[in-house]
A and B are shown apart, each in its own frame.
Chain A
Amino acid sequence: DAGVIQSPRHEVTEMGQEVTLRCKPISGHNSLFWYRQTMMRGLELLIYFNNNVPIDDSGMPEDRFSAKMPNASFSTLKIQPSEPRDSAVYFCASSLFTGPQETQYFGPGTRLLVL
């Protein structure tokens, strides 16, 4: 199995530019999660989807962040405009909820640097 695929692996951009991060979940999984990791805050949830529907976006820092999941095999996280404080590693994770417990599987992450 391919695992969760994220692209790009590294992104360097200038403040004010639009950044789009991409995620392909594991085939057959029905939940998708976007996390951000920083030194100060650790791993924090930004948004998650169940069956392609956004369930909780309370972790999205501000309106500059948006996420979509147009189908079961693809999701994007967009930052527009980007700011230096957005520099972090962004992880996508997916899971298959069959109850009673499920495990989330993480992609390798996208390391974002905003100059």
Chain B
Amino acid sequence: DQQVKQNSPSLSVQEGRISILNCDYTNSMFDYFLWYKKYPAEGPTFLISISSIKDKNEDGRFTVFLNKSAKHLSLHIVPSQPGDSAVYFCAASVNSGNTPLVFGKGTRLSVIA
């Protein structure tokens, strides 16, 4: 049973437009959420995170929104750039870290110039 779900395997967006990647979770004990970006032949790299006490966290072009009641989070990238083309993984953990991350299966984002 998948506790973290990314229902869109892929997404294509025009350069300069907004990319919205979605993630749903089922475990109400999750209190820390992260997004990782992965390029081919590389390991996932940390992008942005959010604690369950917040509903929004922003870092430059990247913003993560958390809706606890819906058990849903999303990553917004604006404006999207060709270099953003990668696989994006949503991850969650319990007890705010020091426990394993549970990952979604990823969404492949393609930003078209």
Q: Which residues in A have some Cβ–Cβ distance to B below 8 Å?
A: 4, 31, 33, 35, 42-45, 48, 50, 56, 91, 93, 95, 97, 99-109
Contact = CB atoms under 8 A, between A and B. Distances in A.
A53 B1 CA distance: 28
A27 B1 CA distance: 35
Contacts of B34: 103
Contacts of B98: 31, 50, 95, 97, 99, 102
Interface residues of B, number: 22
Contacts of B49: 101, 103
Nearest to B102: A45
Contacts of B103: 35, 42-44
Nearest to A58: B100
A50 B32 CA distance: 19
B85 interface: no
Contacts of B105: 42-43
A29 B87 CA distance: 26
Contacts of B42: 108-109
A65 to B, nearest CB: 16
Interface string B73-113: 00000000000000001000000111011111110000000
29 contacts: A33-B100, A33-B101, A35-B103, A43-B105, A45-B100, A45-B101, A48-B100, A56-B100, A91-B43, A91-B44, A95-B97, A95-B98, A99-B96, A99-B97, A99-B98, A100-B51, A100-B96, A101-B32, A101-B96, A102-B98, A103-B49, A106-B44, A107-B43, A108-B41, A108-B42, A108-B43, A109-B41, A109-B42, A109-B43
